[in-house]
Structure 1
Amino acid sequence: MKDPFFSKKRILLLGSGELGKELVIESKRLGLEVVAIDRYEEAPAMQVADYSRVIDMGDKNILKNVIKEFMPDYIVPEIEALSIEALKELEDEGFNIVPNARTVEITMNRDKIRDLASKDLKIKTANFDYIFEFDDLERKADKIGFPLLLKPLMSSSGKGQSLVETKNDLQIAWEQAQANSRGKVKGVIIEEFINFDFEFTLLTVRKESGENIFCLPIGHVQSNGDYQCSWQPIEINESLITEAKKMTTTILNNLNGSGLYGVEFFVKGNEVIFSELSPRPHDTGMVTLVSQNINEFELHLRAFLNLPIPHINLIEPSATRVILSDQEYLNPIYKGLNEALEFENTKVLIFGKQVSRKGRRMGVVLATNKDINLARQNADEAALRIKVSSK
């Protein structure tokens, strides 16, 4: 078998946020050359990549031209807001899209992944419907029942998502969903609010052979659809894990592209319910930077590069807590790092974003401890000590 690294491989990253930054770092450790693309200058992944470009990734021709300029061996989408038409055409021309153009298209739009899971594969999800005109909203809201969730069909990190308690809140929620929709998609998804007991992420590695490898489940907490903290492992009944793995296998057998997938589930009583799926490293999975012998970013690379993946081991129970900004700053600074790093077995990752906004993730604290509760406590307390500020 030919060594895949006989000649230097080049990957092109579409989207250059904090997850992309970690993927670039792992790529460089494997001797890869990396091109980082995003819509703004000095995005986190650009700061560690070999080359970078700022473009409108939603413009098919611009995107295709830049990709052909660099002629990468692998095109790795890290965000949803891009031209799927460009990726389809490039795939037809022989370019390698990770995991494949069809999967990127299905998972970038909530309607497509929900239709696939619920209607085609008969997997348990929350009740949902689609709305493209405000006049239909009240009628379908009554059908779903209050409280309910209103989300853009395409967005990221929970942007534009609202918990709607009454009919009086529908107008504001509709406007927020439309304002935060990515791309040209203007519809919304209306979804049953499940008062779940807890939620978790099942990081799953899909190998080129079709084998699925599962990491230990990761517990997490979200606020308005945006990740706040995560921990691994999470105490959960084995029967629920088995059911989640079964659902995941059913979906990935259909999508069938190698790489790492972040699959989210709700748990209510003895029932596990499919929530979301991302065909790339997941924000809740940043905990694997300290919890596992092979972190999620290296697993993603090994999967689509068809490199060996030995047994994935838990090194030590670990937790994360995000560092949030409370307002907008240009070139922010971070106060309290000394105090945060006084906690044993604790790391701080600053993402390097040039602009902060209220509620924007600017960094993350990682903590390990033999006691998962102490790991979570240390991550929480260390994160509280760090303040995003202006010069």
Structure 2
Amino acid sequence: MTDTEASRDGRTVVLLLGAGERTRELAAAFARLGADVVTADPPVDGDALTTLVDDEKPGYVVSDAEAVATDTLVAIAERGDVEVFPTPRSARLALDAEGLRRLAADELGLPTAPFWFAGSAAELAAVAQHAGFPLVVKPVAAAPGEGESVLLRPEDVDPAWERAVAGGKLSLARVIAESVVDVDVEVTLLTVRTTGPSGPAVSFCEPIGHHQDTGGSLESWQPQHLSPTALDSAKSIAARIVNSLGGRGVFAVELLVRGDEVYFSDVRPRLQDSGLVTLRSQRLSQFELHARAVLGLPVDTIMVSPGAAEVTYATEDDGPPLLADALAVAESDVRLSQAEPALRVSLATAPDPIVARDRARRVASALRRKG
């Protein structure tokens, strides 16, 4: 199916599965390209999802949710009258750290931190005894950061096991344990996969550095400087994993960088909070790039200015955001949601990312202060 084919009264219909601010931004990006967008919370039940697709008759089903009835998406994709993104295989691997890590390390030979899997607290204890400390432990099926902890000593094993099992998206009593790699920076490389007359192609946004503090605030900035050797390695790793997953759209490839060395960490076949900086730093944001790629339209990944973002969720201790103070910061912008918990995105641009980060922090501070 191409962007010129219609599904409803001469218009392209996109069924977007998801909720929250990211989904709303993505829906707006599709709508600006003339698509008829139907947004729905993803049904947990496969029959309900099939009924929704039959009722709406979309040309494209786009999931912006972590957990969707993957087997049903496979059946819908195999019908041939609907394109599904991310591909069911990508969606399944995004929730299967074990399968994804084995694909990356064993099949594709990508460099990764040393890792092991465990199916019980006793197995995790044996891994820790063999591998040594510290170890990062997380569920094999979870959103980034969920159920994650660091083992520093043997007595941390049982609490880490319980946290990981409780924090997984699926009821899988299985965890991944990784050696802690001493790195300079964690990077998101937004990789856009498209298809055209000459076949599949990938393009890359400028690297995005990010850091999440213990309070849950996520800071990201673009560009993150990498050495030419590290940048070439990062692009090679991203292209290989994305082409293996297939499909079209934006993939958030997570990398660990130390000097010229780059390690594959994760890939998400959908948009991520670290990419919100592109709302101001790029000509086309991650949302616009995803919509264009899914619809088979041309993309470009031009960065127009260094930028930074800080993503937080309002707490009971926060008062009404001081919006006037936040927007008084030079080259600033915000995104505020009315959902619970309320998402607050502080954005800023500047001649260099260091100044942009400082401005974004000042915006975020104003949004947290009590009015």
TM more than 0.5: yes
Other-structure match for 1:49: none
Could you tell me how far 1:5 is from its partner in structure 2? 6.5
Q: Which residue of 1 aligns with 2:98?
A: 111
Partner in structure 1 of residue 280 of structure 2: 290
Aligned residue in 2 for 1:123: 110
Say which of 231, 240, 243 aligns to 1:250: 240
Q: Which residue of structure 1 lines up, in the alignment, with residue 4 of structure 2?
A: 4
Match for residue 339 of structure 1?
325
Which of residues 116, 126, 129 is equivalent to 1:139? 126
* Cα distance change of structure 1 residues 15 and 74 upon mapping to structure 2, 3 Å threshold: same
Query: Which residue of structure 2 aligns with residue 323 of structure 1?
Result: 312
2:303 paired with 1:314: yes
* Partner of residue 33, structure 2: 30
* Residues 63 and 334 of structure 1, relative CA distance in 2, 3 Å threshold: farther
Paired with 1:388 and 1:153, the residues of 2 have a C-alpha distance of: 38
For residue 368 of structure 1, what is the aligned residue in structure 2? 349
Q: Determine the C-alpha separation between the residues in 2 that align with 1:168 and 1:3.
A: 57
RMSD of aligned alpha carbons: 2.3
Determine which of 72, 85, 89 is the counterpart of 2:75.
89
Alignment of 1:64-103 (within 5 A): 64-94=50-80, 95-103=82-90
Is the CA contact 1:99–1:304 (under 8 Å) kept in the aligned structure 2? no
Deviation at 1:97, TM superposition (A): 0.9
CA spacing shift, 1:98–1:268, aligned 2, 3 Å? same
2:322 and 2:369 in contact (8 A); partners too? no
Give 2:150's match in structure 1, choosing from 130, 139, 163: 163
TM-score, normalised to structure 2, is: 0.92
Q: What is the number of equivalent residue pairs in this alignment?
A: 364
Report SS of the residue matched to 2:219: strand
Give the secondary-structure state (helix, strand or coil) at the position aligned to 2:85: coil
1:218, distance to aligned residue in structure 2 (A)? 0.9
Q: Decide whether the 8 Å contact of 2:3 with 2:297 is kept in 1.
A: no
Q: Which amino acid aligns with 1:124?
A: P
Deviation at 1:75, TM superposition (A): 1.1
Output the amino acid matched with 2:292. R
- How far did 1:261 drift? 0.7
2:298 match: secondary structure: coil
Larger mean Cα displacement after TM superposition, 224-233 or 214-223: 224-233
Q: Compared with structure 1, are the counterparts of its residues 371 and 244 closer, same or farther at alpha carbon in structure 2 (3 Å cutoff)?
A: closer
Q: CA deviation at 1:2?
A: 7.3
> 1:225, CA displacement in angstroms?
11
- CA deviation after TM superposition for structure 1 residue 226, in Å: 6.3
Normalized against structure 1, the TM-score is what? 0.87
Q: Which runs of 5+ in 1 are unaligned?
A: 39-54
Question: How many angstroms does 1:122 deviate by?
Answer: 0.7
Does the aligned pair in 2 maintain the 1:157–1:227 contact within 8 Å?
A: no
Query: What is the identity, as a one-letter code, of the residue corresponding to 2:275?
Result: G
State yes or no: 1:380 paired with 2:361. yes
Distance 1:137 1:225 in 2: 27
Note closer, same or farther for the CA distance 1:33–1:224 as it changes in structure 2 (3 Å cut).
Answer: farther
For the 8 Å contact 1:324–1:388, the answer to whether it is kept is no
SS across alignment from 1:234 = coil
**Contact 2:120 / 2:161 at 8 angstroms: preserved in 1?**
no
Partner of 2:182: 195
SS of structure 2 residue aligned to 1:335: coil
Judging changes above 3 Å, is the alpha-carbon distance between structure 1 residues 107 and 178 closer, same or farther for their aligned structure 2 residues? same
Q: In the alignment, which residue of structure 1 is the partner of 2:293?
A: 303
SS of residue paired to 2:212: strand
- The CA distance in 2 between the partners of 1:275 and 1:226, in whole Å, is 20
Structure 2 counterparts to residues 246-285 of structure 1, below 5 A? 246-285=236-275
Deviations 1:115-162 (A, max 9, x none): 100011110111112222222110012223211111111111311111
Distance 1:294 1:5, change over 3 A: farther
Q: Secondary structure at the match of 1:186?
A: coil
For 1:153, the equivalent position in structure 2 comes to 140
Q: Partners of 1:287 and 1:197 in 2: how far apart?
A: 20
Contact 2:216 2:312 in 1 (8 A): no
Q: Which residue is 1:173 aligned to?
A: 160
Deviates more, 1:227-236 or 1:375-384: 227-236
The match for 2:227 among 234, 237, 240 is 237
